[in-house]
């Protein structure tokens, strides 16, 4: 396993992070424990969760696992997020000092720890002044409740504004951004990656396999069925089958990944993950495996690197197409506004 600095901080994390959105939903507690055990056995040390994952159950499962694994608990770098609704009240949402204070304390309680290594703002909050959010985060660092903070699903101007205000006010500065990033979703390269590099933020890509598209599980013009993300919900957000199936670029990218995987004797997932892990500014790639077999296959991506020729081919066939995440119809900010009734 390769290890890298968490952004410009001094903390070291594995190049592949274990995402735990499935914990408490698609993976019950024993299955979640198995994924955690296998991941740490591979040399991983970075766990990513959020308070809204399974309505807090993901954090609770991780907390109980940490209590039974003292050696792993000592090595684990824990990241969680706050921002989205965890109750029905008007202050049970957002990035206000009031909500974040409650959200952070609740996350610490569910995780059973006194300190969270990386606390991430799950999305931008246009209602709350950014100064209020940043001052809270600076206070949380000073109080020892968090080590660092970062953002998720922010666009370039939001990253730049937050980073510059933190610098100007003398607040602790952010260290990471968690965006969607994969061979099918490269719009962040248009300006977000540059904004992160300018601010010194490391990237923590989520959905590096494009919701399963880059594993080869979906076939052209065949509506997915069964126990896959799109089989369960073919209209799922930016991964919607009909929209992606209709794009020639989708199948050109998948075809290139498949040919490279076949030639190298590895899985398509490993090729896609190796490409993402090698991108500029990437600190750690978040794996969302549903079972131990998927996790083992994903982690094997850490054992090889793509050649310059392979990388160049993938870069060319997957060139960014403006209008996708996070700016287009299915962009994260548009979806969040709909979820919150316009807030």
- Structure letter (DSSP) for residue 54: G
The residues facing 12 across adjacent strands are 5
CA distance 75 to 88: 36
Q: Is 171 a catalytic residue?
A: no
CA distance 337 to 343: 6
Buried b / exposed e over 27-46, threshold 16 CB at 10 Å, is beeebbbebbebbbebebbb
Are 149 and 119 within 8 A, CB to CB?
yes
Q: Which two tokens stand for residue 114?
A: 């006194």
The full DSSP string for 211-266 is GGGGGT-S-TT----SSSHHHH-TT-GGG-HHHHHT-HHHHHHHHHHHHHHHHHTS
| Helix, coil or strand: residue 188 | helix
Residue 332 burial (CB count, 10 A): 21
At residue 33, what are phi and psi to the nearest 5 degrees? -60, -40
Kindly name the residue from 33, 53, 149, 154 that is annotated as catalytic: 53
Task: Sheet containing 176-178: give its strands across.
Answer: 202-203, 176-178, 146-152, 116-121, 77-82, 46-48, 16-19, 285-287
Helix extents (H) in the chain: 29-41, 57-68, 70-75, 97-111, 130-142, 156-169, 192-199, 229-232, 241-245, 248-264, 268-277, 292-299, 308-317, 332-339
Handedness of CA 44, 288, 183, 280 (dihedral sign): negative
CA distance 290 to 297: 12
Catalytic residues, by residue number, are: 53
């Amino acid at each position: 396993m390769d290890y890298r600095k968490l952004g410009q901080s001094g903390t070291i994390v594995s190049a592949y992070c274990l995402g735990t959105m499935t914990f408490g939903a698609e993976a019950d507690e024993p299955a979640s424990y198995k994924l955690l055990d296998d991941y740490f056995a591979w040399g991983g040390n970075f766990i990513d969760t959020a308070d809204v994952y399974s309505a807090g159950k993901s954090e609770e499962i991780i907390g109980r696992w940490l209590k039974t694994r003292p050696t792993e608990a000592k090595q684990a770098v824990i990241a969680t997020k706050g921002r989205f609704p965890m109750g029905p009240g008007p202050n049970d949402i957002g990035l206000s000092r009031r909500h974040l204070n409650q959200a952070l304390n609740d996350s610490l309680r569910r995780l059973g720890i006194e300190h969270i290594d990386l606390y991430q703002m799950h999305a931008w909050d246009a209602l709350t002044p950014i100064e209020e959010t940043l001052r809270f985060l600076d206070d949380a660092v000073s109080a020892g409740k968090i080590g660092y903070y970062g953002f998720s699903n922010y666009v370039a101007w939001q990253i730049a504004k937050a980073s510059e205000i933190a610098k100007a006010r003398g607040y602790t500065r952010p260290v990471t951004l968690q965006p969607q990033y994969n061979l099918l979703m490269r719009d962040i390269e248009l300006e977000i990656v540059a904004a992160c590099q300018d601010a010194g933020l490391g990237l923590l890509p989520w959905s590096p396999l494009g919701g399963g598209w880059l594993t080869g599980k979906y076939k052209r013009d065949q509506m997915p069925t069964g126990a896959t993300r799109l089989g369960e919900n073919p209209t799922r957000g930016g991964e919607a089958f009909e929209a992606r199936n209709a794009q020639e670029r989708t199948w050109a990218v998948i075809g290139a990944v498949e040919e490279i995987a076949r030639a190298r004797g590895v899985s398509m997932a490993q090729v896609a993950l190796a490409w993402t892990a090698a991108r500029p500014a990437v600190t750690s790639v978040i794996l969302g495996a549903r079972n131990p077999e998927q996790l083992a296959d994903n982690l094997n991506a850490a054992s090889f690197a793509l050649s310059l020729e392979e990388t160049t081919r993938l870069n060319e066939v997957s060139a960014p197409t403006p209008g996708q995440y996070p700016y287009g119809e299915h962009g994260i900010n548009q979806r969040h506004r709909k979820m919150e009734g316009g807030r």
